[in-house]
Amino acid sequence: MADRDDLAALLAAPPTATRRPTVPALEDVLFRPFPMLDHGFVRVIDYMGDDAAIVQAARVSYGAGTRSVSDDRGLIRYLMRHRHSTPFEMCEMKLHIKLPIFIARQWIRHRTANVNEYSARYSILDREFYLPSPEHLALQSSTNRQGRGDVVTSETAAEVLHLLRRDAEQTYATYEHLLNDEGPGAPVDPGLPQLARELARMNLTLNTYTQWYWKCDLHNLLHFLSLRIDHHAQYEIRVYAEQIGALVASWVPLAWEAFRDYRLGASTLSAAEIAVVRAALTGQDVEAALAASPLSAREKREFRARFLEG
């Protein structure tokens, strides 16, 4: 695949001069792949804007009205707190990502990004497939239908990994056989057919790696991260989201700090939950207030977990 082709050249090229906003901390890691899972990576290809660009766009909207907000940090926190999303749309990040296909299928559901994915109609996918490390092989959760429970034993892990590897190797060998394309040490067999690539690919398993360029504005990127950094997100996409979060933190540190305080660490209370908190903060016993509320049993459990338990 193309992912290693130009890296050395890009890293070696001398910088050029620009009058655009530039973020040295992000320039330092530009083009550098951060390894993810067993064969994946994330790397920043380009970016537009910085914390000051958010402020600049907000000041166009609000004109003289923003003079009273004393500084950039205060304005960015105000915008984040009150969900003024458009100024954050004025920054943009372009990433090159390599990831297993079953994760790519989750990721692509976020429709507000621009994507160029490696095409297995045109080209041949590498022999690379995701095998979890044993500590990430978990049982089906008994309480959460879309979640994981306990980690499997080491014997189970060994068996699972054996099966996953065996099947991925076999399906990939079939894929290569059907393609009958030249490869390292594998010339075309002139006596055999070359099946169309767009057909042969159907035999690959969903843990095969693909890659894409993915470009997103900061507002929609933060929305993506808020969903995918969440502990309900599948581990295999969460690690990507956490790495991208670290890159965003070095790119727009003020926006990231505001995002962490007002979004990632925040929690939305329903009308009924607010009533319970009000009652409890103005003198009523919290358990009595919970008992008197219309909250469901599940909501009460969640309330206690959030506010009352260690």
Rg for the chain, CA atoms, rounded: 25
Give the three-class secondary structure for 118: coil
**Closer CB to a copy of itself, residue 186 or residue 270?**
270
| Only segment of 33-41, 198-206, 238-246, 247-255 that touches a copy of itself (CB under 8 A) | 198-206
Instruction: Please give the Cα distance from 289 to 281 (Å, whole number).
Output: 10
Q: Is 1 in the site for a copy of itself (CB under 8 A)?
A: yes
Residues taking part in catalysis: 228
Query: Token pair 């991925």 is at which residue?
Result: 168
Least separation in angstroms between CB 225 and a copy of itself: 14
For position 245 contacting a copy of itself by CB under 8 A, the verdict is no
φ/ψ of 121, rounded to 5, equals -80, -35
Site for a copy of itself (CB under 8 A): how many residues?
130
| Cβ neighbours around 13 below 10 Å, total | 10
What element of type H or E holds 42?
A: strand 40-48
- Residues 4, 9, 111, 185: which binds a copy of itself (CB under 8 A)? 111
Does the footprint of a copy of itself cover residue 114 (CB under 8 A)? yes
Say which residues have a Cβ less than 8 Å from residue 162's Cβ, sequence separation at least 6. Answer: none
Does the protein bind a copy of itself through residue 10 (CB under 8 A)?
yes
CB-wise, 20 or 185, nearer to a copy of itself?
A: 20
Query: Which range touches a copy of itself (CB under 8 A), out of 34-42, 241-249, 281-289?
Result: 281-289
User: Minimum distance from CB of 243 to a copy of itself (Å)?
Assistant: 19
Q: Show the binding pattern over residues 130-159: x = contacts a copy of itself (CB under 8 A), - = does not.
A: x-x----xxxxx---xxxxx--xx--x---
Q: Rule CB under 8 A: which of 33-52 touch a copy of itself?
A: 45-49
Read off the DSSP letter of residue 263: I
- How far is it, in rounded angstroms, from Cα 185 to Cα 150? 44
Beta bridge partners of 148: 140
